[in-house]
Chains A and B, each alone.
Chain A
């Protein structure tokens, strides 16, 4: 990288050192100087369309947007003046004229930028009648809602969908005004990743049921309600209670869920240990049938957006998706079979609620082929945000609550099960297990650092028992696409491919708290690797619970198939409806 030249600028009289190429907004944010900005998101291109970050520059006439103006040596910036305040106030009033308020039921309820700015600039929110009252509310599959009457046309969602997902959101002109709409083309469909949600500054997107249906699982009368929480929740939900980024709150989460009235609380990371064990069994089987490990091509299957992506856009690769079920589905299945039997409970009476960093999991649990004896392994999915909201409603403060341990006998995960929440984690868990299974040797270096990190595509060659296997890890569908296109030309390019739809993996999921950006995602991921590094048990299939169940319960092929495996099929465009017009 080119070394950047140091320069000095002043903001409101404060002298600041920075590098050439940085925008005024970046310099201000790094120095803790607040400049309002709505359309700016560090993950995305600078668009400079909300015109809220206007500042003055000494010696230059007019106002300049801080997000799109580069800092120059000696520049003197003022972030407040009568002119600036007037411009921000009027532009805010115009922004409010497009945004139908729905404050109590919004993912930004507790930290809404718009509302904060409205107060600061003494804005008359109702100066103009809402322009978009008749704009539709869309629903994409069973996962995502887009209320276009809240949209302020910053187009972050369109860019996020293009960058991380599939370009399902488009801009169309209707009666001289452009608006964001879902693609009509039969060749495009939403994969439910929810990146639109976490990149929208005003809550126009949310998960289906967020937040109006969050109480539903608690109202299941005469049922035994069991909660299970995903690996990536423990290092993110604290943010909703003012805890620092990357703070691990596993015990508090368990205590909170019990306080809500959960009969049992399980850790999905245990399910992840089963997923790894079964997935590696599957790979080893395949290798035996074919010409060894280096002839295998196997895709991870725990990201439902990725699975739908293959089923819809690249059906020719369906045979390569691992048939092993995702962790919460396996654990849910075990709860309704093994655990129910052991505790002598009628499985029909059990309600399993998964707390997920993900919106696509709401779609996944509706997949009919996952049913075991007619029962869905998981009955409800709540996102991290939804659970936090539920806690707040029930006056449960994660900051204050005393930590508790999750329930055994399905209680303690390996370290490998925890890192499932970060991009590369599924791969690393699989590599640890496969290495041990194939070489029977102690892992001298248990960390596979080459598969970690936030990059969009990671590639590595790993030697196992004298054989080299090629792995690729992608996050975001645009990156996954590159891998698939490469595989179309050279089917031997990789052996194992892990794909997660969201940036950085599940820690950057569409169900996670807002705001989210690469800095925050890094902290959330680092926390998971910290947990792993401190564990004694760091290999999935060596987890005593996994061993015990393979000895006592998962003993025949039929049971294993029913609980741990699934099938895939080519998908047509899903049901996307317009709820009101």
Chain B
């Protein structure tokens, strides 16, 4: 059985949060005809509450490099980049270089903020262009870095690929747990467990009324404690909030501030929509009809996934906690 079949059989899905089947992505890049192809390992996690890339870089760098090595061997004419968040670059440059040796893997220091972790934005950044997302199609698998077919996978995805090929893959996932908990940290646990079980197993289930934000500390969905009998969607980050002690308005302000700072200001709904949400929160008056309109254009007409993802936390918090 070849590598791509093995990946397909494992049902491994990309661990960046988008959940694209890894085997299929590798196959798409492999089947493209080109003299040069690129592999990019995305190690630029930028969303609050998410720290699994850093955890793997620190604890299992050799498994990560092994995963990239497999990609280099599977995809012809390829060279690789590891695209690292600035602090990760500083911290892990030396150990990674040692492991890389003479392999065609280049370490690249991330420029810009959160959005610079989006896959098409990474391409622009490495090419020295403005940190903005590209219009898809073409998808990076067809025309990515410098116009060549490009495989972009998350740190954890490469880690799991290496595990699969070693026959050690146990359908696990790296969960980042933070917030009002006793034992914050990164845990490698079964991907089929529901959120409640994960909190319990890690001895993090609170003994007070709470809600969680699941899937990232900015774009994640708000779930009440009664809704935790489901596995996590997107990035496996769980942030726990004490219901009584959390000021929801303050929480929304921090999200708005985050998106305002991190978006690229390219498309109208995200640039102006986020600005208007932020202004509304500053004024302290929630206009439901207006919010609905802004959410609608953000969700339906944003250029890239960031804009579309803005809606989820606000909408779920307002509905479930504010009950509007």
Which A residues lie at the B interface, using CB under 8 A?
Answer: 46-51, 54, 62-63, 65, 68, 70, 83, 86-87, 90-91, 94-95, 97-98, 127-128, 131, 152-153, 155, 171, 176-178
Contacts and interface: CB of A to CB of B under 8 A. Distances in A.
Interface in B219-268: 260-261, 264-268
Given A49-B268, A50-B268, A177 B275 contact: yes
- Chain A interface SS verdict (over half): loop
Contact of B135 (A46, A86, A94, A155): A46
B130 interface: yes
B301 interface: yes
A122 to B, nearest CB: 13
Nearest to A64: B301
Contacts of A176: 260-261
B135 to A, nearest CB: 5
- Which 3 residue pairs spanning A and B have beta carbons closest together? A94-B272, A178-B265, A51-B301
Given A62-B300, A95-B272, A128-B276, A51 B267 contact: yes
A51 B135 contact: no
A155 B272 CA distance: 15
A51 B272 CA distance: 12
Given A51-B267, A63-B300, A91-B269, 14 more contacts: A48-B135, A51-B297, A51-B301, A54-B300, A63-B301, A68-B135, A70-B137, A87-B297, A87-B300, A90-B294, A91-B297, A94-B276, A97-B276, A177-B275
A97 B135 contact: no
A94 B302 CA distance: 13
A91 B261 contact: no
B293 interface: yes
Contacts of B269: 51, 90-91, 94
Contacts of B276: 94, 97, 128
Interface centre among A46, A47, A68, A90 (most CB of B within 10 A): A90
A131 B294 CA distance: 16
Q: Which of B261, B293, B301 has the most chain A CB within a 10 Å cutoff?
A: B301
Contacts of B260: 176-177
B296 interface: yes
B264 A83 contact: no
A180 to B, nearest CB: 11
Contacts of B261: 176
A54 B301 contact: yes
B300 A94 contact: no
A94 B297 contact: yes
Interface in B177-228: none
Nearest to B135: A68
A87 B268 contact: no
Nearest to A38: B268
A390 B291 CA distance: 45
A94 B267 contact: no
B273 interface: yes
A172 to B, nearest CB: 11
7 contacts: A49-B268, A54-B300, A87-B296, A87-B297, A90-B294, A91-B297, A171-B130
